[in-house]
Chain A
Amino acid sequence: MAGGDPFSSAQRHEIDKAIRDAETLSRVEFSVYVGRSEGEPRAFAERLHAALATPDRSVLVLVDPSSQLLEIVTGAQASILLDDAEVRLAALTMQSAFAAGDLVGGITRGVLQLAEHARRPQLRHVE
């Protein structure tokens, strides 16, 4: 696998900032992996997710530009805040941006959208 840097420092900064903003917004940890996935993509994404510091509270976004696939894994606690329908919506946002050739924009918008959904107060009327 060749080295080199696929992102300019500005793009890198943009993605870092989106992750930071998303984390302050939602109190869910975000992690974005951009690269080739090894083997079965879902299993690989779950392995990546398990390797995070706090998998339960984390959301892992895997973007594989070479095979054009996207995986989002939410941890046990994170999935309470973010149900799968909301994750699918964010995935759609990202997919359409990627299809339009906007890799960095898709990542930042997708992460922020996930955070927006996770922020929504979960406590409904408990009476």
Chain B
Amino acid sequence: MTERLPTPLVRRAARAVALTPALLVTGATGAAFATAPNTWEQGPPTSPLHVILVLVVAPVSLFVIITLLTYLPSMSRNAGYHPGEVWRYDAQWFGGPRGGVEALDAAEEPARSDEPAAVTAGPTRGGASGRW
């Protein structure tokens, strides 16, 4: 079944060619001639204060600055009405006339003359009242 290689001579030559690079690489290199490592040069002495400044104070202040940057906007915006508090705000009119409550006061003055008209319009209105 299997086709055998033509001659043993060719096979031997092929094996030699395949091994040559490996032999060359391992044979050509010499021993490593590295000099023994020097120790680090001794720099100027650093004070413990400086060490603390760089390793403790700087990171901590970074933490603080980032935290403040994160929370300050929402803290200053907070305000807002919380139920149960005293209402200390201007009136909010959603879907009201353009001028808001001021427009109401302005429209009120001339309307005062036809007070009876408002009364007659009264009964057609409906609604409900409640407290909580």
- A25 at interface, CB cutoff 8 A: no
- The answer to whether A52 and B96 touch across the interface, beta carbons within 8 angstroms, is yes
Q: Given A6-B87, A68-B132, A33 and B96 touching (CB < 8 A)?
A: yes
Nearest B residue to A80, CB-CB: B126
- The answer to whether B107 and A51 touch across the interface, beta carbons within 8 angstroms, is yes
Q: Given A5-B80, A87-B126, A35 and B131 touching (CB < 8 A)?
A: no
Q: Given A2-B88, A2-B89, A84 and B83 touching (CB < 8 A)?
A: no
**Those of A51-68 within 8 Å (CB) of chain B:** 51-53, 64-66, 68
- The answer to whether A8 and B80 touch across the interface, beta carbons within 8 angstroms, is yes
- The answer to whether A16 and B89 touch across the interface, beta carbons within 8 angstroms, is no
Query: Which residues on B sit within 8 Å (CB–CB) of A3?
Result: 89-90
- B127 at interface, CB cutoff 8 A: yes
Chain B positions 91 through 132: 1 when the CB is less than 8 Å from some CB of chain A, otherwise 0: 111111100010110011001000000100110111111111
Nearest-Cβ distance from residue B97 to partner chain A, whole angstroms: 5
Q: How many A-B residue pairs have CB under 8 A?
A: 148
The range of chain B's interface size is 35 or more
- The answer to whether B132 and A83 touch across the interface, beta carbons within 8 angstroms, is no
- B69 at interface, CB cutoff 8 A: no
Query: Which of A4, A16, A87 interacts with B79 by CB under 8 Å?
Result: A4
Q: Given A36-B91, A95-B132, A101 and B86 touching (CB < 8 A)?
A: no
B-side binding surface: helix, strand, loop or mixed?
Answer: mixed
- The answer to whether A51 and B104 touch across the interface, beta carbons within 8 angstroms, is yes
- A26 at interface, CB cutoff 8 A: no
- The answer to whether A65 and B87 touch across the interface, beta carbons within 8 angstroms, is yes
Q: How far is the CA of A84 from the CA of B36 in the complex (A)?
A: 99
- A119 at interface, CB cutoff 8 A: no
Q: How far is the CA of A83 from the CA of B84 in the complex (A)?
A: 31
Q: How far is the CA of A70 from the CA of B128 in the complex (A)?
A: 8
- The answer to whether A101 and B77 touch across the interface, beta carbons within 8 angstroms, is no
- The answer to whether B127 and A47 touch across the interface, beta carbons within 8 angstroms, is no
Query: Which residues on A sit within 8 Å (CB–CB) of B96?
Result: 31, 33, 48, 51-52
15 sampled A-B residue pairs with Cβ under 8 A: A2-B88, A15-B94, A31-B95, A33-B92, A33-B96, A34-B91, A36-B91, A48-B96, A66-B86, A69-B130, A71-B127, A71-B128, A72-B128, A73-B126, A95-B132
